[in-house]
Amino acid sequence: MDTLSYKTVSANRGTANKEWIVVDAKDAVVGRLASQVAARIRGKHKPNFTPHVDCGDNVIIINAEKIRFTGRKMTDKVYVRHTGYPGGQRFASPRLWLEKHPERVLEHAIRGMLPKNRLGRHLFTNLFVYTGETHPHAAQQPKEIKF
């Protein structure tokens, strides 16, 4: 029988071509930026996307302190954590996080959009968030991307 045979090509650590990209978070909405960055880190934009392999890009986010929320989320949204002690539930608003550690707002949003397993924890190491215009990854020659 004369038929065409197609083989599914799966990426692995050796064949995945990972790039470095820079994203400017100035005046970007947190959730919209986070979902696009999470897809980039995961590698879903690539034709050889493989769900169980780290085939995404390394993403550098600058100007993390200049992000914005829509509506009243800056004051009404609540980040909840627990100290581990009885009665140790603590609450914080995005305004408080942006004053103390602005990069954590984006890191928290993006981490929530990655898989909740070993791969997700490894993918999160491909994210670098910085306040201000500068970053220490100039040697990787990252490409600037607009979302």
Paired residues of 114 in beta bridges: none
Helix (H) or strand (E) holding 58: strand 58-62
* 3-17, 47-61, 67-81, range with the lowest pLDDT: 3-17
The percentage of residues in the chain with a pLDDT greater than 90, rounded to a whole number, is 88
pLDDT class for 6, splitting at 50, 70, 90?
A: confident
Q: Quick count: other Cβ atoms within 10 Å of Cβ 130?
A: 19
Closest CA relative to residue 24, chosen from 57, 83, 67, 82: 67
Strands 143-145 and 20-24: parallel
- What is the model's pLDDT at position 67? 96
Q: What are the C-alpha distances in Å from 141 to residues 19, 57, 59?
A: 9, 13, 12
